[in-house]
Amino acid sequence: MKFFVDTADVDAIAELNDLGMVDGVTTNPSIIAKSGRNILEVTKEICDMVEGPVSAEVVATDADEMISEGRKLVEIADNIAVKVPLTWDGLKACKVLSGEGNMVNVTLCFSANQALLAAKAGATFISPFIGRLDDINLDGLELIEDIRTVYDNYGFETQILAASIRSANHMSECAKIGADVATAPPNVIKAMANHVLTDKGLAAFLEDAKKADIKIV
């Protein structure tokens, strides 16, 4: 499973990228706003840093305006994936932009029907939002399973990009289901390394090394 980092914090991206933990980056207007920087400027910096797809989201809601904004965004770098919402206008924009050879990430997906439409419209990525479904007492991981089944049934090449990841458990469950990509904040990716038994074992090893005066010099 590929890891995309869901942030516009270039320092956090750089740290994970140096470890080989970054296959791409996702951003949205909310994330860019938190960075306090110009959307085109920060997106260009991220694109120069990572080799994989960088999702940059349109802010228009009309299909023609989305297409215009998408064409502007892909001028930033070759690895831009234009992010459009899963609305009827968003699907129209996806069809045009993908038809022009651009990567398109269709976001805010909450049903298998929506994912099926996105694949038919030529989406490179579909972004089902796990955490937001969990927030309303629905099973976000079940949606990933449903989309995986639909896509595998018909050989769709659209990649499942699990989004709205809230925990390290979400990451492992998505991997087991077969999501192609999971995008998560840096702290969630780092949390995947944590385990209480690892901490306990390390503490014991260090205590034994101290008692035995073991030194590696």
The one catalytic residue among 2, 72, 83, 95: 83
Per DSSP, the residues of the chain read -EEEEE---HHHHHHHHHTT--SEEE--HHHHHHHTS-HHHHHHHHHHH-SS-EEEE----SHHHHHHHHHHHTTT-TTEEEEEESSHHHHHHHHHHHHTT-EEEEEEE-SHHHHHHHHHTT-SEEEEBHHHHHHTT--HHHHHHHHHHHHHHHT--PEEEEBS--SHHHHHHHHHHT-SEEEE-HHHHHHTT--HHHHHHHHHHHHHHHHTT----
CA-wise closest residue to 151 among 114, 187, 185, 184: 114
Position 201: which residue type?
A: G
Q: Are 58 and 97 within 8 A, CB to CB? A: no
> Among this protein's residues, is 83 annotated catalytic?
yes
Residues annotated as catalytic (active site), given as ranges: 83
